[in-house]
Structure 1
Amino acid sequence: MRYMLLIHQDENIYKSSSQANVTAMSSDYAAFNEAMRKAGVLLSGERLQFTDTAASVRVADGRTEVLDGPYADTKEQFGGFYMIEAPDLDQAVAWAARCPAAQNGTVEVRPIWELTGN
């Protein structure tokens, strides 16, 4: 079954980190990515740019509204994702626990709603 690991972190941690800390975080993610590749569970994943580059879109009464930045003002922001293949939720949770983001943020694990037919 496919699962999304949705990474939620305070992006200010990255904005205010020293280059040494950023390098350490990058190597932690590189090791995590390699472990998932070797285990054959990684399907895809991407890091997102900071929320100050985002736009939120909503359609109300036929009018499109575009807001700068994220829609919700939250302590943690959606910063990236992994899509993995795991036999069950327990295994997906185990991978989420290994994600470096779990150390200072939240990794939400969500099963993919598999569409059938056309």
Structure 2
Amino acid sequence: MKYLCLAYYNPEKFAAMAPADKQALVSQCPAKDAELKKTGHLVVSASLEGPQAAFALRPRGGKPQVTDGPYAEAKEMVGGFFIIEAADKDEAVRVASLHPAATLGESVGWGIEVHPIGFFEMTPSK
């Protein structure tokens, strides 16, 4: 089964960090990411631009209306996502726990939300 893992953070807390503290935190990520890749369970991984670059589509009068900013207002924002392959919830927890957001960045609200995927299809790139 595949699982969508949403990596969250608090943009205000992250922005308030001293540059040296940010560097110290994010410099730990490549090794953690490499651990996750080595499991063979990683299907795809990506980081997202900040909330200022996001936009939302909502139906209005039967047509999509575009608005700037994320869909929902929240203290935490999705900063990245990854999809893993795991046999069950326990394995999904073990694999997702290798992502940096599961063990680092507690002070800036890092965390992971894991969703089982009911339907998954890869579309070829253009």
TM-score (norm 1): 0.83
Deviations 1:74-116 (A, max 9, x none): 1101111111112211111123333332333331111122359
Aligned residues: 116
Gaps of 5+ in 2: 122-126
Alignment correspondent of 1:88: 88
The answer to whether the 8 A contact 1:25-1:100 is kept is no
Taking only aligned residues, the RMSD between alpha carbons, in angstroms, comes to 1.9
Equivalent residue runs for 1:54-73 within 5 Å:
54-73=54-73
Gaps of 5+ in 1: none
Alignment correspondent of 1:114: 119
TM-score (norm 2): 0.79
How far apart are the structure 2 equivalents of 1:41 and 1:27? Answer: 23
Deviations 1:50-87 (A, max 9, x none): 11111111122223321110121111011111111122
How far apart are the structure 1 equivalents of 2:33 and 2:111? Answer: 17
The answer to whether the 8 A contact 2:5-2:81 is kept is yes
Shift of 1:3: 1.2
Deviations 1:10-38 (A, max 9, x none): 12233222232222222322112100121
Give 4+ residue runs of structure 1 displaced > 4 Å after superposition: none
Matched AA of 1:20: A
How far apart are the structure 1 equivalents of 2:14 and 2:35? Answer: 23
Provide the identity percentage: 34
